[in-house]
Amino acid sequence: MESVLTETVALLDESGASALTFRALAQRLGGGVASIYWYVANKEELLDRATDHVIGGVLADIEKLPSGDDPIDDLRAMAVTLFDAIVDRPWLGAYFMRNTDAQTNSMRLYEKLGRQTLRLDLTARQRFHAVSAVVGVVVGSAVDMGQEPPQEVLKGAVSRDEYLGRFARAWRELDPDDYPFVHEIVDEFDGHEDVDQFRSALDLTLAGLRLQAGG
């Protein structure tokens, strides 16, 4: 099973979920398609198990993080670790926590995140919403950042900053009376780093959590 999952993850990393077929996987493994059915019943189960295989490594990294006096700082460190894993594997975000019966590592990671909220003065509902918000920011940001860049950027015809600069120039030409917000932030948008947006979104979420917990 380990070799099946290893090759499945490699195929997903190279080509995404659309390229994952039992035939393609069997070719990588050097065997027949029927042999894969010894381990999983269908593609959906394979995707869930591959996801959990990767999350097992993320969980191991999170368990190595030092525990501090501030649960929100600890929660931030865990969230960043999960983000780093998903941004490198855009397919992962679509399947994380999709089936917790099959994804035992994902469930354990969810528990690790949630335990930090047990250190805060919150209700059960507030804890549930807090962890949901953090996971949403992490997964949503990572999947967005992990999308394939435009063909112009991929082919090297223009750099990422040049590509964004085109939109920034167009935004600056908009009527400031109709788009006052856009004119206010266009210089920040021009040449921004996506990871800074993620960290800011995470910090805003955690700052709200700290206020809610009376900290």
Give the model confidence (pLDDT) of 160-203 as tens digits.
677 778 888 998 999 999 999 999 989 888 877 778 889 999 99
For residues 26-30, give the mean pLDDT.
77
CA-to-CA separations, 111 to 15, 29, 128, in angstroms, rounded: 31, 34, 11
* N-to-C CA span, the chain: 47
Angle between helices 104-117 and 43-63 (to 10 degrees): 40
Give me the CATH code for the 1-39 domain, please. Answer: 1.10.10
CB-based contact 112:59 (threshold 8 Å): yes
Q: What is the mean pLDDT of residues 71-85?
A: 95
For residues 215 and 47, the model is more confident at: 47
Q: How confident is the model at residue 114, as a pLDDT?
A: 96
**Burial zone of 117 (CB within 10 Å; 0-12 exposed, 13-18 middle, 19+ buried):** buried
Q: What is the pLDDT of residue 154?
A: 53
- Ordered by start, the domain boundaries in the chain are 1-39, 55-212
Question: Taking all residues of the chain, what is their mean pLDDT, rounded to a whole number?
Answer: 87
Q: What is the CATH number of domain 55-212?
A: 1.10.357.10
Q: Which residue has the tokens 């085109």?
A: 166
